[in-house]
Amino acid sequence: MSVALIILGAGKGTRMNSELPKVVHPIAGAPMLVHAMRAGATLDPAHTVIVAGHGAEDVTKVALAYDDEAKVVLQNEQLGTGHAVLQAADALAGFDGKVIVLYGDTPFVKPETLSAMLEASADVVVLGFEPKDPGRYGRLVTDGTSLERIVEFKDALPQEKNIKLCNSGVICCAAPLLFNLLNEITNDNAAGEYYLTDVIGLARRAGHTATVVTCSEAETLGVNSRAELAAADALFQAEARLSLMEDGVTLVAPETVYLSLDTLIGRDTIIEPNVVFGPDVTVESGATIRAFSHLEGCHVSRGSVVGPYARLRPGAELAENVKIGNFVEIKKATLSEGTKVNHLSYIGDATIGARTNIGAGTITCNYDGVLKHHTEIGNDVFIGSNTMLVAPVTIGSRAMTGSGSVITSDVEPEALALSRAPQVEKPGMAQKLFDMLQAKKARMNRGS
- Alpha carbon of 444 to those of 383, 440, 441: distances in Å? 46, 6, 5
Q: How many CB atoms lie within 10 A of CB 362?
A: 25
Nearest to 16 by CA among 228, 231, 222, 221: 228
Cβ proximity of 324 and 341 under 8 Å: yes
Nearest to 387 by CA among 397, 395, 379: 395
Catalytic residue among 25, 299, 343, 373: 343
Q: Residue 439 in 3-state DSSP? A: helix
For 87, phi and psi rounded to 5 degrees? -65, -15
Nearest to 74 by CA among 62, 92, 86: 86
Q: Residue 252 in 3-state DSSP? A: coil
Cβ proximity of 262 and 280 under 8 Å: yes
Q: 301-322: string of b/e by CB count within 10 Å (b at 16+)?
A: bbbbbbbbebbbbebbbbbbbb
Nearest to 138 by CA among 57, 228, 92, 201: 201
DSSP state of 258: B
Q: Is 343 a catalytic residue?
A: yes
What is the C-alpha to C-alpha distance for residues 283 and 264, in angstroms, rounded to an integer? 6
Q: Which residues are catalytic?
A: 343
